[in-house]
Amino acid sequence: MRNKAIITNPAPGIDLDALDQSRSLEETEYKQQLKKLQLRLLRLQRGMHETSRSLVIVMEGPDAAGKGGAIRSIVEKLDPRLIRVYSIVKPTSEEYQFHYLRRFWLRLPSYGQTAIFDRSWYGRVLVERVEGFATDVQWRRAYAEINEFERSLAEDGAIIAKIFLQITKAEQLKRFKKRQSDPYKHWKISDEDWRNRRKWRQHNNAAQEMFGRTSSANAPWTVLPANYKWHARIESLKCIINALEGAGIKP
């Protein structure tokens, strides 16, 4: 049986490879929904700016899942003065000298503002776990550290939206090959991407355990099928809007 297409607060037993990837949108419908949702989000952003709340958006998913495109659709019509986007790569030599959460604390948004993390502190229990960059002791204790980190943010008024975009292994291969053949996108593919792909099942298993151990009422995970990029972008916008409105933010 295939999992339903959109899953909030996923259980540990979710099978990412069994997500229903059949939902798509026609171009006209996509553009209509995009315009409507972007305007709604802009109004909510302006409403949140007048409060002591902040918005923290986490975007995770396998390589080529469409995180960058989804983020562009989120920020495209927003007030750029009130938002920051952070693309998280491996720590610098200086950052290695501190607790791994420190560099994220330094990037948290001020009250009334938004921060989007293209990959995040969840790297500790995802790629760092799978690739052996973190020891067993380090990544196992990270679940409690992350839960406490997010609990502290939520209790201080942060609204947390965590989105995981999932594509199939076949779709990832298709996108990798397209990137390799396109001179304008060749920079988006690296040997590291191919190496990660060889551990597809291990990465999925790590993500599936992460959902069960770090999804909470204040910081739930939403898993979105992303083979169809337009559908994933629309659902990402809806997820963020629902988080803001659910927290009582008014336009």
Sequence letter at residue 43: R
Q: Summarize pLDDT for 145-169 with one digit per residue, the tens.
A: 999 999 999 999 999 999 999 999 9
Q: Summarize pLDDT for 26-66 with one digit per residue, the tens.
A: 999 999 999 999 999 999 999 999 899 999 999 999 999 99
Statement: residue 12 has pLDDT above 70: no
Euclidean distance between CA atoms 2 and 108, whole angstroms: 37
Taking only Cα atoms into account, the Rg of the chain, rounded to an integer number of angstroms, comes to 18
Strand intervals (E) in the chain: 7-8, 54-60, 83-87, 114-118, 158-166, 221-225
Domains in the chain and their CATH numbers? 7-246 (3.40.50.300)
Statement: residue 10 has pLDDT above 80: no
Q: Summarize pLDDT for 168-184 with one digit per residue, the tens.
A: 999 999 999 999 888 88
Q: How many CA atoms lie within 13 A of 180 on its CB side?
A: 10
- At residue 168, the 3 state secondary structure works out as coil
pLDDT-derived band of residue 112, with 50, 70 and 90 as boundaries? very high
For the beta carbon of residue 220, count every other beta carbon within 10 angstroms.
18
Main-chain dihedrals φ then ψ at residue 158, nearest 5 degrees: -70, 140
For the beta carbon of residue 64, count every other beta carbon within 10 angstroms.
22
Q: How many CA atoms lie within 13 A of 224 on its CB side?
A: 30
By CB atoms closer than 10 A (0-12, 13-18, 19+), residue 9 is middle
Write down the pTM of the prediction: 0.94
Looking at every residue in the chain, the average pLDDT score rounds to 94
Which of 14-18, 52-56, 77-81 is predicted least confidently? 14-18
The pLDDT assigned to 190 comes to 84
Sequence letter at residue 191: D
CB 120 within 8 A of CB 88: yes
Q: 60: left (phi > 0), else alpha (psi -120 to 50), else beta? A: beta
